[in-house]
Structure formats: structure tokens, C-alpha cells
Amino acid sequence: MDTDVDNKFSDDDEVAYEANVRLTKTLSEVLNLFIYPIRHSGNISQDSTCLSARIKPKQQRLIFGSYYFCFVQFSLFPMLKRKRGITGDAASRREAIRKRERRVVETEEERSRRLSTMAQRDQDIRAKEAEEQRNSRLSDMAQCSQQRRAEETEEQRNIRLAVMAQRGQERRAEETEEQRNSRLAVMAQRGQRRRAEETDEQRNSRLAKMAQRGQER
């Protein structure tokens, strides 16, 4: 029976068989142990080629085909890797914590450089934006500021005002005479523009607030 099966293979099959034996010589022992277990009392590891010789060409092609299929499958369709790292809100929190740590460690010179870079970037953006975009941005900023101030407590408000006053003092202590004159000119120009655009009701409200602050002082 085995002779009839062997005679059905041509010379090309025999050449392929020899090639498969050479290619799978290192894997034949493990594959035979799992697919075609051989029950004998001898030592299996004595001759690794004897196990390959006992496998018929058809069986050898099955073994080689299985190995080739696994190779193609895992090379063309690799297993999906688990996503590493943190995504979503956790990633945003981690980035915010990292930025705060960097700001604590940074020196005064690095802080000044970072703030000047941010100011320059804001100036470039404001120079490019249209009047409508500017009004929309200022409106959004004012709305966000009002919401924050409405939600903050008295203690948070005092802390915020103290921080603002300290920053203002630091900036004024570092600025030159030319920068001070430029800042005052810009403030005066903004005040004139606001007063020219405000209505009588807004003007009365502003004067009332100023009077109230004067009485509190």
C-alpha cells in the first residue's frame, strides 16, 4: 500500500521532497511530536533526520504547507498590538500635570522667554484676524471671564486679584521707560475707543462702579 502511494509521485515531487526535508530539518522533530507521534522506546533526539525520513512525501508537503501558511499569515496579517499609553481625558490630565511640573522647575529666564514667545504668537494671530473675528474672540473671553467670576468664591477672587497685582508689579519693575510709555498710550487709546463706543447706560454703569470702588477704598 505504501509502495503504491510512493509510486504516484513523479521526479519533481521527489526533488520537492528533498528540498522540504532540508528546509524543515530543524522543525521536523517538534512537528512530528505534535502531529505524528511515534511510539518507540528509542531516543528520539538521536537522529533528527530519521523522523523526517519516516514521513511520506504527501505528509511532508502537509507539514511544510502548514508551516508556510503560518509564516504567511503572521507576516501579512500580524496580530494587533495592544494600544499603549493613555488616551482621552486621562492623557489631557497627564499633559497638564507635566506642563505644571515644567513651569515649577523652569528658571526666571525660561519663564520670561516662554511668556514673550506666547505674547509674540498672540500678536501675530491678532494682526492676521479680521475685525469680526476679533470681536467674536473678545466676546467669548468676556463671557468665560464672567462665568468664572460668577462661580468663584470670595477667597478665590482675593487670590486672583493678588496674583494679578503681583504680576503687574513685576512687569512694571522690569519694563523700561519706553515700554511704560507705550503701555500707557495703548491703555489710553483703548479707553478712548471704549468710551466712544459705549452707550449712555454703559457710561452711567461704569461711573457708578468707579464711584463704588472709590468709596470702598
How far apart are the C-alpha atoms of 65 and 10, rounded to whole Å? 19
31 pLDDT band (50/70/90 cuts)?
Answer: low
d(CA 52, CA 21): 7
pLDDT tops 50 at residue 152: yes
Greater model confidence, 25 or 205: 205
Which set of grid coordinates corresponds to residue 111? 519663564
Residue 37: its pLDDT value, please?
A: 45
pLDDT at 79 over 80: no
Cell of 201: 447706560
Q: Cα–Cα distances in Å, from 168 out to 9, 171, 184?
A: 94, 5, 13
Q: What is the pLDDT of residue 58?
A: 55
Lookup result for grid cell 514521513: 55
Q: Is the pLDDT of residue 85 over 60?
A: no
Q: What is the pLDDT of residue 205?
A: 85
Q: What whole-number distance in Å separates Cα of residue 151 and Cα of residue 132?
A: 29
Q: Mind giving me the DSSP string for 109-146?
A: HHHHHHHHHHHHHHHHHHHHS-HHHHHHHHHHHHHHHH
Confidence (pTM): 0.27
pLDDT the model gives residue 190: 86
Instruction: Compute the distance between CA of residue 83 and CA of residue 91 in angstroms, rounded to an integer.
Output: 13
Confidence of residue 42 (pLDDT cuts 50, 70, 90): very low
Contact (CB, 8 A) for 46 and 86: no
Rounded CA gap, 191 and 212, in Å? Answer: 19
Of residues 201 and 2, the one with the higher pLDDT is 201
Calculate what percentage of the chain has a pLDDT beyond 90: 0
Average pLDDT, the chain: 70
Q: Is residue 197 over pLDDT 60?
A: yes
pLDDT in tens, 158-195: 888 888 888 888 888 888 888 888 888 888 888 888 88
